[in-house]
Amino acid sequence: MHPCVKCGACCGTYRVLFAPAETEPTSLNVPKELTEKAENGQLAIIGTNEAKPRCVALAGRIGHSVGCTIYERRPSCCREYKASYEDGTRNPRCDQARRGKGLRPLRPSDYSLSAPLTAE
């Protein structure tokens, strides 16, 4: 199981900004009704433009079991975001988001084991 399905920390920490073109009608567009205007002509997913962000498309409890309700239609910034060691390298932003939610940073072994990902 991928560590992200027990995490969701990034979805409850960072603002999700993207170009309005990503809501244009296609089969994989970001649902426009889940967006709001942000600065510089960009859009944000509702909930992520708040002082305490939480993506409106995040279902579940951070650190336990989560899922993206628009996974196939998520914006490019979410598609490009990599969890620490997902591609073999550490992502400091992932580590920071996890620490902020009381979770330990991911390790390479988290991709081969079913170890609990809670704080140590």
Inter-residue contact 16 to 78 (CB < 8 Å): yes
Average pLDDT over residues 32-59: 96
Inter-residue contact 82 to 75 (CB < 8 Å): no
Q: Which residues contact 69 (CB under 8 A, 6 or more apart)?
A: 57, 58, 59
pLDDT at 1: 82
Whether 117 shows a pLDDT value over 70: the answer reads no
Lowest mean pLDDT among 2-11, 24-33, 90-99, 111-120: 111-120
pLDDT at 80: 96
Q: Please state, in angstroms and as integers, the Cα–Cα distance from residue 109 to each residue in 7, 106, 116, following that order.
A: 16, 8, 11
pLDDT at 120: 42
Strands (E), the chain: 17-18, 35-37, 43-45, 58-61, 65-68
Q: Band the pLDDT of 113: cuts 50, 70, 90.
A: low
Q: How far apart are CA 55 and CA 36, in angstroms?
A: 12
Name the percent of the chain lying above pLDDT 70.
93
Q: Band the pLDDT of 42: cuts 50, 70, 90.
A: very high
Q: Band the pLDDT of 28: cuts 50, 70, 90.
A: confident
